[in-house]
């Protein structure tokens, strides 16, 4: 059985500009996730990834789409939907989309990891996709409008430098303080057990809905701006949201991995 998701196409320019959470965000999620893995999940992930850390593996999917044999994975990183939907409308649209997207790709990766009849190589690839897509679906601008490519064409000026809405939420605000991913993971690590339990009960459609609501608010803010020049005030207003989304992605990713590998002997994965 060959492990591949449905093929979808995307223009080269979109492939280049959609960089999800950036290097720092994804690796922060991976680093923080390790704190919440069960011993069995940790051993199973180690067996599949070898000497590659979870933090390192979290960025693989962004690199993989540059390869010709995986170019069809480019639009597995986002979900395009119109604004103004109720939750019922949103869920119905997402559930019935024919084009591959971050939600369907995430579910497919999870399903693949649960299969016993596939090779270690296929499981490892599925795991790397899952690590990345849980992060992507928590990045608000990855669940947003198609017409502006998830905020990539909405130009802003942040602290005297040109950027766009997508990049701002993706990378600029998170990297504002100059901290590396391991330091950010430590900074974001204070999460109550109550929140862990609550967040891990939520289904992936809720993760996507949360991002959709936030991106809708971010769009509305831009529409109301008198100037596209923004600075520390914008950072102070939104950095807590970014911290929350990274925390939720980490906790939920750990929950998914704990569930997938709860009854798996890591020796079974070496085949």
- Find out whether 150 and 10 touch, Cβ atoms under 8 Å: no
Mean pLDDT, residues 228-255: 97
Tokens of 164: 């766009």
End-to-end CA distance of the chain: 14
Mean pLDDT, residues 42-68: 94
Lowest mean per-residue pLDDT among 68-77, 153-162, 252-261: 68-77
- Spell out a b/e string for 79-90, using b for 16 or more CB atoms within 10 Å of the CB, else e: bbbeeebeeeeb
Q: Please report the pLDDT score of residue 17 as a whole number.
A: 38
Backbone angles phi, psi at 155, to 5 degrees: -80, 135
Distance (Å) of CA 107 to CA 44, 61, 98, 171, 260: 19, 15, 14, 26, 12
Lowest mean per-residue pLDDT among 114-118, 164-168, 214-218: 114-118
Q: How confident is the model at residue 69 (pLDDT cuts 50, 70, 90)?
A: confident
**CA 210/CA 174 separation, integer angstroms:** 19
In the chain, the domains with their CATH numbers are: 12-270 (1.10.575.10)
Q: Which residue, chain included where needed, has tokens 């100059």?
A: 178
Neighbours of 217 (CB within 10 A): 13
- Exposed / middle / buried, residue 107 (Cβ in 10 Å: 0-12, 13-18, 19+): middle
Contacts of 82 (CB under 8 A, 6+ apart): 145
Lowest mean per-residue pLDDT among 24-28, 66-70, 101-105: 66-70
Mean pLDDT, residues 202-227: 97
Q: For 15-38, what is each residue's pLDDT tens digit?
A: 333 445 678 999 999 999 999 999
- Find out whether 47 and 153 touch, Cβ atoms under 8 Å: no
Give 6 or 44, the one with higher predicted confidence. Answer: 44
- pTM for this model (two decimals): 0.90
- What angle do the packed helices 204-224 and 232-260 form, to 10 degrees? 170
pLDDT for residue 12 is more than 60 = no
């Amino acid at each position: 059985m060959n492990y591949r998701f449905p093929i979808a196409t995307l223009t080269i320019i979109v492939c280049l500009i959609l960089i999800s959470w950036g290097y720092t965000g994804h690796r922060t999620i991976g680093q923080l996730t390790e704190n919440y893995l069960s011993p069995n999940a940790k051993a199973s992930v180690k067996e599949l990834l070898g000497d590659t850390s979870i933090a390192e593996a979290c960025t693989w999917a962004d690199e993989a789409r540059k390869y010709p044999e995986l170019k069809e994975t480019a639009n597995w990183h986002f979900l395009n939907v119109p604004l103004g939907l109720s939750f019922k409308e949103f869920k119905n649209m997402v559930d019935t989309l024919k084009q591959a997207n971050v939600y369907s790709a995430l579910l497919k990766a999870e399903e693949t990891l649960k299969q016993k009849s596939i090779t270690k190589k296929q499981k490892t690839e599925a795991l790397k996709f899952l690590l990345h897509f849980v992060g992507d679906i928590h990045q608000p601008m990855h669940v947003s409008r198609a017409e502006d490519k998830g905020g990539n064409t909405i130009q802003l000026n942040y602290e005297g430098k040109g950027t766009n809405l997508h990049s701002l939420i993706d990378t600029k605000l998170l990297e504002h303080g100059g901290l590396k991913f391991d330091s950010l993971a430590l900074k974001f690590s204070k999460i109550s057990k109550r929140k862990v339990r609550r967040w891990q009960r939520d289904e992936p459609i809720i993760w996507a809905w949360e991002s959709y609501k936030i991106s809708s608010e971010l769009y509305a803010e831009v529409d109301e701006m008198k100037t596209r020049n923004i600075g520390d005030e914008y950072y102070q207003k939104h950095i807590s949201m970014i911290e929350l989304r990274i925390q939720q992605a980490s906790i939920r990713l750990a929950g998914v991995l704990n569930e997938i590998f709860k009854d798996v002997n890591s020796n079974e994965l070496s085949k």
